[in-house]
Amino acid sequence: MKRDVDCSAVIPVSRRIDDLPTLLADYVGAIQSSGKNYEIILVLDGRKDELLEPLRRIAADNSRIHLIQLSREFGESAALAAGFDAARGRELLTLPAYYQVEPAEITRLLAEGLSDADMHIAVRPRPGMSFDKLRRRAFHLLFTFTSGMKFSDLGCGVRLLDRAVADEIPLYGDQHRFFPALARQRGFRVREIELKQSSKDRFRGRYRIREYLHRLLDVLTVFFLVRFTKKPLRFFGTLGFLASAIGVLLVLVFVIQRLFFGVGLADRPALLLASLLIVLGVQTFALGLIGELIIFTHASKIKEYAVRNVIQNESWVESMPKTAGDAAEDPEQGA
């Protein structure tokens, strides 16, 4: 596909939505102020018929605005992925369908460019203390502890990234929240930049208990993706070894007590616990081993690395062996 657009802004329209016509006008003004050749792609996650007609009229008045409607609700990650696939820009800008940062700050984000990073993620400074801020801080502390990566505002959907990042990292489930962490894990440079929070951002994060459970499971998912995707035996093998070791030590204690101190083995619940630990440890170790075998089987299809750039010089190119096709095209080689 021809890349004749400097920046493609992708807006996933999912569950949380503000006044889209007004928000879109603010976004257009901010992006135009940057002077970049741009396009805006709105991805409707599901039917959302009440939004389709107003957005169609807006797109008819501005040829730079495009609409994509998914057949059903697939989630925000799928909506972003669909937008990335349709985008033509060399740079990708993700924007939420609701107010998070001041529109003028988007102009500053675009002006920063990607000269020193592959992805810029917005951080909204929040003065004072509140339950919402404590909850967000606890979430980021947990994420830092499990992944070893420090981020300040993973919930902000304003991000500027190089096209290569979107091409390299598949998005699914609810992994859009952890897009920066997955990018850093692949070797891309991720930088946080402070942007002023919008005065119209009135969301205070009132979630049900189920939502907190989902976020906890998402953090655990990223923990495995970041640390043990290619080495599952290190995680499951460690757990299995510890469980089996504790079980074996307990059994040895019971055997010594029976042989040298005359302590009976009957009515010893701890003996059942020791046996269970041994069996559980072996099964956990086997689970990691099966994972390693699966990865080994598909190793030829997995790219273990990401190349930032290739630097060549004439001496290196000339010293490289010619292929059969090169030799056929070289008249001196044929002579």
Classify domain 5-227 by CATH architecture: Alpha-Beta Complex (3.90)
Give yes or no for a contact between 28 and 112, defined as CB atoms under 8 angstroms apart.
no
Question: Which among 161, 163, 169, 168 is positioned nearest to 189, based on CA atoms?
Answer: 161
Predicted TM-score (pTM) of this structure: 0.74
41 φ/ψ angles, rounded to the nearest 5 degrees: -115, 115
Residue 330: exposed, middle, or buried by beta-carbon count in 10 A (0-12, 13-18, 19+)?
exposed
Give yes or no for a contact between 75 and 98, defined as CB atoms under 8 angstroms apart.
no
3-state helix, strand, coil in the chain (%, to 5): 55, 15, 35
Kindly write down the DSSP assignment for every residue of 254-266, as one continuous string: HHHHHHHS----T
Report domain extents, the chain: 5-227, 232-299
Q: Average pLDDT of the chain?
A: 84
Kindly write down the DSSP assignment for every residue of 105-159, as one continuous string: HHHHHHHHTTSS-SEEEEE----S--HHHHHHHHHHHHHHHHHS---S-TT---E
The pLDDT tens digits along the chain (335 residues) read 445 789 999 999 988 888 899 999 999 999 999 999 999 999 999 888 888 889 999 999 999 999 999 988 898 999 999 999 999 999 999 999 999 999 889 999 999 888 889 999 999 887 666 677 788 888 889 888 888 899 989 989 999 999 999 998 888 877 888 999 989 988 899 999 999 988 887 665 566 777 777 778 888 888 877 777 778 888 889 999 999 999 999 999 988 988 888 888 777 888 889 999 999 999 999 998 898 888 778 766 666 666 666 666 555 555 555 544 444 444 444 44
Q: Which residues contact 20 (CB under 8 A, 6 or more apart)?
A: 13, 51, 54, 55, 97
Strands 89-94 and 5-13, sheet pairing? parallel
Token code pair at residue 113: 């460019």
For residues 49 and 31, what is the distance between their CA atoms, to the nearest angstrom? 27
Q: Which residues contact 73 (CB under 8 A, 6 or more apart)?
A: 14, 45, 46
